[in-house]
Structure 1
Amino acid sequence: MNGAQEPASHLRIDQHCADRGVFIIENLDKLDLVLEKVSNKPFTAYIFPVNMSGF
């Protein structure tokens, strides 16, 4: 499993969470490099939804 749920229920679970103000951020990679750059200082990550369809 890759994510918070099985592929068959992916959209349903994502919508369930979103309806409650919880958003699952997927496919983050190399966070160790981010932590290395900020040297244990606070940082802000700006996260924006991407509306993709038709593929």
Structure 2
Amino acid sequence: MRRFKSSKHAQRFLSAFGPIAGHFQPRRHRLRAGEYRTLLQDRFQQWNEVTGVKLAA
């Protein structure tokens, strides 16, 4: 509970953070390097589309 003022605040943060973190942490041991890179690239592209982030040049 570092830096959280209450357990409710920590739980609220972790309940939102869990699915997001899982999106960017695929099971690496089951993938080849090329597949892993492609998968992460696709997931970051999805994240950028959802959040509306535009890539610089």
TM-score (structure 2 length as normaliser): 0.27
Larger Rg: 2
Structure (1/2) with the larger helix percentage: 2
TM-score by length of 1: 0.28
